[in-house]
Amino acid sequence: MAKLDRPDWDNYFMEIAHVVTRRSNCSRRQVAAVIVKDTRIVSTGYNGTPRGIKNCDEGGCPRCSNPEIESGSSLEECFCSHAEENSIIQAAYHGISVKGSTLYTTFSPCLQCAKMIINSGVAEVVYHRKYSIADSALALLQEAGVAVRPLITPEEKKELGID
């Protein structure tokens, strides 16, 4: 009998996070987060404008709609909520504790999300791609005792020649 090609838990949850990005309405970057506790998904989130606000890709965010604003700048003017923020808020909205959980995210967290992750009790962050302005956020997470690690997918390992 042939052995099934089943993803390990990390890759399984990261693949789900990548599917969740398809719900993002941000016109600049699609990001998602999946919060897992005891190998069970307790919450998901993606980036986009708050509930009841015109979607970002429909002009709901003046920052994202302005092509003159460079990536990573004028973030204080962005109306969009981040994926990590939304996943934590969704859990709270439904009365679910994220204390001791693992947060899988398609991009490493920004500083604001890092503070929310720390204060919510998330124990570990696993990210796929490093966000360009994430150095201080990653340092803060590590200082607070939150485990942080990048995840290289099996496809990327093949491309890089890593077993």
Q: Which residues form the catalytic set? A: 84
CA distances in angstroms from 146 to 78, 92, 112, listed in the order given: 27, 20, 15
Write down the residue that tokens 């970057």 correspond to.
29
Chain center to CA of 82: 8
- Give the Cα separation of 83 and 154 in Å (integer): 24
Amino acid present at 17: A
Give bridge partners of residue 25 from the DSSP assignment.
none
CA distances in angstroms from 159 to 93, 131, 153, 155, listed in the order given: 41, 21, 10, 6
